[in-house]
Amino acid sequence: MQLRDSNIEKLSRETFDVLIIGGGINGASAAAALAGKGVRVGLIDRGDFAGETSMHSSNLVWGGIKYMESYDFPLVRKLCKSRNHLIKSFPSTVQEIRFLTTIARGFRYHPRYLWAGSWLYWLMGNAFTRIPRFLKPSAIKEREGIIDTRDAIGGFEYSDAYLHDNDARFVFNFVRSALNYGAMAANYVESRGARRENGVWVTRARNVMNDATFEIRSRVLINAAGPWVDQHNESTGQKPGHHHVFSKGIHLIVPRLTDSKRVLAFFADDGRLFFVIPMGQRTCIGTTDTRVENPEVHVTDEDTQFVLDNINKRLQLDKPLGREDIIATRCGVRPLAVKARAGGGRDFLQLSRKHAIDTDDAEAHISIFGGKLTDCLNVGEEIVSEVKRLGVSVPYPDYRWYGEPSESVRKEFLHQAELMDLDAMTAPEASEPLTARLWRRYGTHALDMLEEIREDPRQGELLIEGTEYLRCELGQAQRREMITRLEDFLRRRSKISLVVSNARIRRSPGLMEACEILFGDQARERFDEYFAETPEWTPEKLSPEAEADNPAHSESLNWSNRGFSST
């Protein structure tokens, strides 16, 4: 909390070149780009960073193969180049993954036609990934025995990319980069609207945690509030050229369905691509595409049944998936940018996630509409250009503000880790060596963690068994990751609440110790707050299959204990 409190104090007393409202992927990448190039930046979000749309994605970084059908080739080309650039810039985090797509009899296109399209997709992506392959039903069955191929006429395999960690963690790392470059960011700070006075924006802000109000001054105001961009523009009197329409999407998290590390892709009953995505010891299934009128959404019985019906039709499981197998859900809206005077003639399912940036030159106000994770580097660079055009000095225009630390830093980390035999400390059930995971998540600061372990070997002990968290990682989170509520850690800095049922989290014997590390004297308050606010719609008793796949040595939280308990 110290970092957050310090930043709020500075937000209230300084005048910034730019204030960004919203800490989703658009706001986070814009903040990192501007701060890295020397612009004085403030960033606030009324909830946690990546607390809405940016934490409900499919965790895929893809070039938009679905937009091939609508002949939106310029967008596909741009997204493929962005995907490739992310893979090269974040090799530990954004990694190529194979997609196996099955085509059922009676589908609107023959699989060979779609296979040809996948080759065009591959070429538009500069042949950067592995080549596509056409598959007969027998070859599909050979690769993935759980796919029901009785009604299949063929399929194909192609490559895109995915996030090794969760989407919210990826977004937060941009916020952390902005902080490293001198930005002042704070979560749980709400904008109550803004006014223009003598060439400066004055934003009325409220600290959500204590209801204190203050003002933030900036030369330029950027509205990156995601689904709430339109709402915030109304509060500041802006009339941009775009607005949002909303599509609700949900995913269900269930026990792992297949050991393969590939995405299974189908066309759901509504014609939309439908995925079975690996998530460690779990599988993520979805998504839906339902038009809604506002961004406040939740999972309905109909949503859940749609996903279960679609997956059970397409997989041959020993026992069909049921509601009792659901461990967690993801539910959010896609804000889709449309022109303010556009008609409603286009098929809603064909609307793209293409971003749009509207700038009011006279008022020095910028609004960011739409967008997706794949396009984040483009958003950051375009915002820098717009801010510069508005007269703000950009001291280091050529600075590369994104990507993993240099190879020399990585080699130094690996050398030190090898000297202390760090990988020997990796838990037997871990999904990867400890060196790989610490480097991917913490980069340069992983060196600090090695020093902590050398000084106190207990810092290298598992604090969260099965989910692979060391004691020193909780300390790192407390100091540098602005964790304000328990959900920030369980859902966004990590993905624990996605892979472990809420009831099982609550029963974890060392949970209160983690709260003590993260929140100090407020540990009990934050513990009670989380379980009061987190809905327990999923049945506490999992199916026998889900229970068997959720032992203490696998994904359940068996927190190490130093005398604290959660009772």
| DSSP-assigned letters across all residues of 47-71 | SSTT-SGGGSS-SEE---GGGGTTT
Residue 195 falls inside a structural domain: yes
Pair 449, 442: CB distance under 8 Å: yes
Percent of the chain with pLDDT over 70: 91
Weakest-pLDDT range from 334-338, 431-435, 516-520: 431-435
Residue 427 has pLDDT above 60, yes or no: yes
Average pLDDT over residues 260-265: 94
The total number of structural domains that make up the chain: 3
Do both 426 and 310 map to the same domain? no
- Calculate the alpha carbon distances from 427 to 146, 422, 433, 439 in Å: 30, 11, 9, 17
232-257 pLDDT, tens digit per residue, is 999 999 999 999 999 999 999 999 99
Do both 143 and 275 map to the same domain? yes
Weakest-pLDDT range from 36-45, 75-84, 123-132, 540-549: 540-549
pLDDT for res 464: 62
Pair 27, 224: CB distance under 8 Å: yes
Domain at 28, CATH number = 3.50.50.60
Q: Supply 388's token pair.
A: 């510069």
Please give the full DSSP string across 477-544, using - where no structure is assigned. HHHHS---SHHIIIIIIS-HHHHS-HHHHHT-TTHHHHHHHHHGGGHHHHHHHHHHHS---S-SS--H
Do both 154 and 177 map to the same domain? no
Q: From the CB of residue 424, how many other CB atoms can be counted at a distance below 10 Å?
A: 8
Do both 364 and 439 map to the same domain? no
pLDDT for res 191: 97
443-472 pLDDT, tens digit per residue, is 999 999 999 999 999 898 877 655 678 889
Average pLDDT over residues 501-522: 85
**Cβ within 8 Å of residue 2, ≥6 positions away:** none
Average pLDDT over residues 216-221: 98
Residue 126 falls inside a structural domain: yes
pLDDT band at residue 550 using 50, 70 and 90 as cut-offs: very low
Do both 488 and 475 map to the same domain? yes
Domain enclosing residue 128, as ranges: 78-164+245-336
Residue 399 falls inside a structural domain: no
Residue 543 falls inside a structural domain: no
For 459-474, b/e burial (b = at least 16 CB within 10 A) is: bbebbbbbbbbbbbbb
367-397 pLDDT, tens digit per residue, is 999 999 999 999 999 999 999 999 999 999 9
Amino acid, res. 533: E
- Calculate the alpha carbon distances from 236 to 28, 184, 228 in Å: 21, 22, 13
Average pLDDT over residues 529-536: 80
15-72 pLDDT, tens digit per residue, is 999 999 999 999 999 999 999 999 999 999 999 999 999 999 999 999 889 889 888 9
pLDDT for res 347: 52
Domain boundary at 312, 336, 360, which? 336
Do both 251 and 233 map to the same domain? no
List the one residue out of 144, 166, 139, 170 whose CA is nearest residue 155: 139
Do both 29 and 118 map to the same domain? no
Residue 551 has pLDDT above 50, yes or no: no
CA distance 376 to 267: 27
147-161 pLDDT, tens digit per residue, is 999 999 999 999 999
- Calculate the alpha carbon distances from 52 to 100, 283, 332, 487 in Å: 29, 21, 7, 13
Residue 425 falls inside a structural domain: yes
According to DSSP, residue 164 is labeled S
- Calculate the alpha carbon distances from 549 to 165, 255, 257, 260, 545 in Å: 21, 6, 10, 16, 6
Residue 494 falls inside a structural domain: yes
Do both 153 and 249 map to the same domain? yes
**Cβ within 8 Å of residue 220, ≥6 positions away:** 17, 18, 19, 201, 364, 365, 366, 387, 390, 392
Do both 414 and 284 map to the same domain? no
More confident: 289 or 101:
101
Do both 295 and 437 map to the same domain? no
pLDDT for res 101: 96
Do both 145 and 181 map to the same domain? no
Domain at 134, CATH number = 3.30.9.10
Average pLDDT over residues 424-438: 87
Do both 196 and 159 map to the same domain? no
Residue 61 falls inside a structural domain: no
pLDDT for res 557: 40
CA distance 178 to 173: 9
pLDDT for res 380: 98
Highest average pLDDT, of 87-91, 464-468, 533-537, comes from 87-91
Residue 565 falls inside a structural domain: no
